[in-house]
Amino acid sequence: MRRLILVTSPPACGKTFISKEVSKALKPIVYLDKDTLIGLSNQVFKVAHQENNRSSEFFEENIRNEEYEVIIDLALEALDYCDTVLINAPFTREIRDLKYMDNFRKKLKEHDCELVVIWVETSKEVCHQRMIERNSDRDTWKLAHWDEYIAGCNFEKPEGIPELWVFKNSSTEEFNQSMAELVKHFKN
């Protein structure tokens, strides 16, 4: 059976590193990163004469959902060519919306595909430090308004997702243990 893996968490929890390591371990696989779409989103901000703020009302109303729809469409198309597709994207709202997830499972079933959700669990303090270290333009507003930003983030493990794997990632030791367990499970 085909498999779609969602690697999810709030920003700066380590999704990209984990996604790439999981992808290397589970080859053959199609790796898709929602951050690849940021260039297009930045252009939307520019032509709309809006501040490039991924936490803004403009982003929420005009860009956010479309980014998710496009990455899912790309994944479904990729399943025609490879049995395992991994999407690296926050999906923080979607995985807490059980109706959305039920509809998503139905869509995957039409493609003879099972869902796997990897929730990256990382402490807020580690995320803050990683965000500072990566020094990305997309984090400028978040870092300048850290208390406001972090208050709106839900770091709790999503409930009601039977396909959920928790990947602990606040330290190298946690990463190594989680990676070994995940690879062992999916290689068997």
39 belongs to a structural domain: no
Residue 30's alpha-carbon distances to 5, 26, 83, 88, 130, in angstroms, are 10, 10, 9, 11, 26
177 belongs to a structural domain: yes
Pick from 26, 9, 148: which is nearest to 92 by CA?
9
Q: Would you state the structure tokens that stand for residue 176, as one six-digit string?
A: 């190594």
pLDDT, one tens digit per residue, over 41-82 is 999 999 999 988 888 999 999 999 999 999 999 999 999 999
41 belongs to a structural domain: no
pTM recorded for the entire structure: 0.91
170 belongs to a structural domain: yes
Q: Where are the alpha helices (DSSP H) in 48-156?
A: 57-62, 64-78, 98-110, 124-134, 140-144, 146-151
Phi-psi region of 164 (alpha: psi -120 to 50; beta: other; left: phi over 0): beta
24 belongs to a structural domain: yes
Q: For residue 176, what is the domain's CATH number?
A: 3.40.50.300
28 belongs to a structural domain: yes
Residues 70, 75, 55: CA angle, nearest 5 degrees = 40
Domain that holds residue 29: 2-33+83-187
51 belongs to a structural domain: no
pLDDT, one tens digit per residue, over 96-148 is 999 999 999 999 999 999 999 999 999 999 999 999 999 988 888 899 999 99
- Kind and range of the H or E element at 46? helix 38-47
Q: Would you state the structure tokens that stand for residue 8, as one six-digit string?
A: 């999810």
pLDDT, one tens digit per residue, over 91-109 is 989 999 999 999 999 999 9
55 belongs to a structural domain: no
Average pLDDT in the chain:
94
Number of domains in the chain: 1
